[in-house]
């Protein structure tokens, strides 16, 4: 996630190593001021979307691999779906919100999360498997505990090169099963003193995510009409269920949706697969919230409902 300073070296080495399928989530365009650290790109690509420029460079380097691009900003609304297609996630972003969204989504999906961060002259890399061990929030419970982004604080250009390369090293170790990943540990590199130090992260029983009383709720329970439109345009499967009563359907419905009226919902729930990602909607978003609760009680945990209901969806279409 991110094809910037950390993503550039990580992607180049993973492509060169022959990792068969790489996904790149990156919404930005190449800027001249990026090039001191974002070595995937050249001056001729300034103004181009980074994701497509990155794919071109990586497939030129290794035509045998598949590179999928997601030119979107990773965030709470799309991260679960983005990571669902991949086995291992490298966090190469530099903003607080994206970091927490990616990390928490990996925790929920129990997928390896490779953390990397740089701040002026210091860089950090860590690996969290999200099993019994600690998570990143055990160390940094909230955003105030993480460094500023590169664009805000400035960074020595070579530093993300070092940290992104270390992230790729950890990814290759995990993918190919050699060596000992930095599991539950954070390596800190201080470029000014040329010092590397590794610290074990202690599992924090008061951690807001993996602690005994987690304060971070699993995931937003609803989706906006705008996010739904983007989500429907993507290839990943989403089961859309209309919980309005059948006499309400004259005003139209979301293409491809099933109609399971709320009054009969109990009889329909057992027909669905608990692993499916489900979106519920009604006319205004009130009944769908109740329906989502019924699904959760029945053991479904990939269920959300549409904010503002079909009305909001229809308004967006016109
Ligand atoms: Zn934790």
| pTM (2 d.p.) | 0.70
Ligand 1 centre and the CA of 62: distance in Å?
A: 38
Ligand 1 centre and the CA of 87: distance in Å?
A: 21
Ligand 1 centre and the CA of 185: distance in Å?
A: 13
Ligand 1 centre and the CA of 203: distance in Å?
A: 6
* 253 touches 228 (CB < 8 A): no
What digits encode the pLDDT tens for the residues 106-160? 998 889 999 999 988 999 999 998 777 899 889 887 765 555 555 556 789 999 9
What digits encode the pLDDT tens for the residues 164-198? 999 999 999 999 999 999 999 999 999 999 999 99
Ligand 1 centre and the CA of 210: distance in Å?
A: 4
Query: Rounded to whole angstroms, how far apart are CA atoms 179 and 10?
Result: 18
Ligand 1 centre and the CA of 160: distance in Å?
A: 25
Ligand 1 centre and the CA of 68: distance in Å?
A: 31
Extract long-range pairs of 49-54: CB within 8 Å, 24+ residues apart: 50/3, 50/4, 50/26, 51/3, 51/24, 51/25, 51/26, 51/27, 54/3, 54/7, 54/8, 54/11, 54/24, 54/26
Ligand 1 centre and the CA of 9: distance in Å?
A: 28
What digits encode the pLDDT tens for the residues 270-280? 999 888 889 99
Ligand 1 centre and the CA of 102: distance in Å?
A: 14
Helix H segments across the chain? 7-17, 50-61, 79-84, 96-109, 136-139, 150-153, 158-176, 225-233, 265-268, 287-297, 309-317
Buried b (16+ CB within 10 A) or exposed e, 30-58: beeebbebbbbbeeebeeebbbbbbbebb
């Amino acid at each position: 996630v991110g094809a910037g300073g950390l993503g550039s070296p990580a992607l180049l080495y993973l492509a060169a190593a022959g990792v068969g399928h790489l996904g790149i989530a990156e919404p930005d365009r190449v800027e001249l001021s990026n090039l001191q650290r974002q070595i995937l790109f050249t001056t001729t690509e300034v103004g181009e979307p980074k994701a497509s420029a990155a794919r071109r460079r990586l497939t030129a380097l290794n035509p045998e691999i598949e590179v999928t691009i997601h030119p979107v900003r990773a965030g709470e609304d799309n991260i679960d779906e983005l990571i669902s297609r991949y086995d291992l996630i490298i966090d190469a972003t530099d903003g607080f919100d994206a970091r927490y969204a990616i990390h928490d989504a990996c925790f929920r999906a129990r997928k390896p999360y490779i953390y990397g961060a740089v701040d002026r002259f210091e860089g950090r890399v860590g690996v969290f498997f999200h099993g019994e061990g600690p998570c990143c929030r055990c160390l940094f419970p909230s955003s105030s505990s993480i460094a500023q982004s590169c664009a805000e604080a400035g960074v020595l250009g070579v530093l993300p090169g070092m940290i992104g390369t270390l992230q790729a090293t950890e990814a290759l170790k995990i993918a190919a099963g050699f060596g000992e990943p930095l599991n539950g540990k954070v390596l800190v590199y201080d470029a000014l003193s040329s010092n590397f130090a590794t610290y074990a992260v202690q599992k924090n029983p008061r951690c807001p995510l993996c602690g005994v009383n987690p304060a971070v709720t699993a995931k937003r329970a609803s989706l906006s009409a705008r996010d739904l439109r983007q989500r429907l345009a993507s290839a990943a499967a989403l089961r859309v269920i209309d919980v309005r009563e059948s006499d309400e359907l004259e005003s139209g419905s979301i293409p491809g949706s099933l109609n399971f009226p709320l009054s009969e919902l109990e009889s329909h729930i057992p027909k669905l697969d608990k692993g499916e990602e489900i979106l519920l909607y009604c006319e205004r978003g009130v009944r769908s919230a109740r329906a989502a609760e019924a699904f959760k009680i029945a053991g479904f945990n990939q269920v959300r409902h549409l904010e503002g209901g079909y009305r909001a969806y229809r308004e967006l279409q016109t």
